[in-house]
């Protein structure tokens, strides 16, 4: 009888819809609002529930980014490059999952997009300790002293991820922000949040310190004004 009940249950069971959380300060948390919204695939089929961030979540993410800024901006450029390379390594290890999620979210061939995203992390990892050389300068002066131009991190950067490119577009705007010593508050693609959520899981298990990258899902039109108007946000990166 137990075998029949078991097999019958397997045939009639209801799948458990996953509800993803936000990534703030290196930890996964539910939205302060308690809201969620359905994430759908390229054919408008339900895939999972994503947390619907509120303006309180935006404030918490900015606070976490500000707290993490001194440590991250004070790290050596070589160390930041190592951390970004570690992200690429972990993304490579979950390549098949990202391929499936990009294909589901965007209806595109996943392998080329995921490989490009991994390569982009490696690219910016290599640039982290070369930016000062390229953008800095030793300025000629008419006196017994030296004058140097040295690029410095901007601070907390609000990142509005591209809506149509849920992984490669996100990496393309996020990686240069943190490679140069800034911290980030990211608003993901509204309708295609799953690759960004999985990327947050990669960041959580990598060497990126908590608060350096904070990832929020939700309605971009609702959240972007609060992020842009926050007094502790130093720049907005919008592609």
Confidence of residue 174 (pLDDT cuts 50, 70, 90): very high
At 191, list the tokens: 């309708």
- CB 218, CB 190: distance < 8 Å: yes
Q: Rounded CA gap, 104 and 192, in Å?
A: 9
Q: What are phi and psi for residue 161, nearest 5 degrees?
A: -65, 150
Q: What is the pLDDT of residue 187?
A: 96
**Residue pLDDT, tens place only, 48-69:** 899 999 999 999 999 999 999 9
**Residue pLDDT, tens place only, 72-119:** 999 999 999 999 999 999 999 999 999 999 998 888 777 999 999 999
Is the dihedral angle over the CA atoms 41, 44, 46, 49 positive or is it negative? positive
> Which pTM was predicted?
0.88
Q: What residue ranges define each of the domains in the chain, with the CATH number in brackets?
A: 18-238 (3.40.605.10)
Q: Rounded CA gap, 25 and 131, in Å?
A: 27
CA 141 to each of CA 132, 137, 144, 147, 148: distance values in angstroms, whole numbers, following the listed order: 20, 12, 8, 7, 10
Contacts of 32 (CB under 8 A, 6+ apart): 54, 56, 57, 60
Q: What is the pLDDT of residue 23?
A: 97
Q: What is the pLDDT of residue 161?
A: 94
Is the dihedral angle over the CA atoms 199, 202, 204, 209 positive or is it negative? negative
Q: Rounded CA gap, 208 and 171, in Å?
A: 14
Q: Determine the Cα angle at 93 with ends 91 and 97, to 5°.
A: 75
Q: Rounded CA gap, 214 and 236, in Å?
A: 14
Q: What is the DSSP string of 107-164?
A: -S-HHHHHHHHHHHHHHHHHHTTTHHHHH-EEE--SSSS-EEE------EEEEE--SS
């Amino acid at each position: 009888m137990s075998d029949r009940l078991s097999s019958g249950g397997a045939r009639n069971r209801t799948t458990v819809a996953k509800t993803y959380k936000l990534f703030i300060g290196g930890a996964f948390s539910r939205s302060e609002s308690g809201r969620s919204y359905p994430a759908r695939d390229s054919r408008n089929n339900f895939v999972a529930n994503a947390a619907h961030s509120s303006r309180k979540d935006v404030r918490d993410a900015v606070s976490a980014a500000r707290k993490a800024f001194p440590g991250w901006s004070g790290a050596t450029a070589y160390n930041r490059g190592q951390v970004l390379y570690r992200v690429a390594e972990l993304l490579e290890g979950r390549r098949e999952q990202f391929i499936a999620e990009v294909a589901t979210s965007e209806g595109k061939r996943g392998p080329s997009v995921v490989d490009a995203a991994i390569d982009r992390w490696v690219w910016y990892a290599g640039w982290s300790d070369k930016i000062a050389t390229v953008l800095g300068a030793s300025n000629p002066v008419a006196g017994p002293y030296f004058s140097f131009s040295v690029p410095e991190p901007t601070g907390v950067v609000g990142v509005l991820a591209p809506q149509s490119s849920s992984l490669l577009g996100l990496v393309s705007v996020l990686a240069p922000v943190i490679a140069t010593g800034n911290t980030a508050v990211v608003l993901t693609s509204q309708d295609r949040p799953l690759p960004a959520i999985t990327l947050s899981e990669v960041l959580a298990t990598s060497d990126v310190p908590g608060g350096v990258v904070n990832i929020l899902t939700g309605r971009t039109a609702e959240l972007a004004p609060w992020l842009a108007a926050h007094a502790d946000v130093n720049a907005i990166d919008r592609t």
